[in-house]
Amino acid sequence: MKSIYACQEHIEEALDDAVYTGFEMPVLEQFTPVDNDQTKCTYCKSQPIYMVANFCSPTKS
């Protein structure tokens, strides 16, 4: 699963999408942008404050 970046308004939607598409427990981390980072919320293009991802390896049994 790719990372989903979410603002405060869309964090619940991001968690739902991560669970339904990844079938694994997602990891929720606070997103800290680096200088000149152009990353935007996946849903509205605002500045994200969370990153939702599943870091399990697809080759892991």
Q: What is the pLDDT of residues 3-22, one digit of tens each?
A: 899 999 999 999 999 888 87
Would you state the pLDDT for residue 26? Answer: 87
d(CA 57, CA 41): 25
Would you state the pLDDT for residue 35? Answer: 66
Please tell me the pTM assigned to this model.
0.77
Average pLDDT, the chain: 84
- Give CA torsion, residues 12, 53, 48, 16, to 10 deg: -20
d(CA 10, CA 57): 26
Average pLDDT estimate for 39-53: 93
What percentage of the chain carries pLDDT values higher than 90?
51
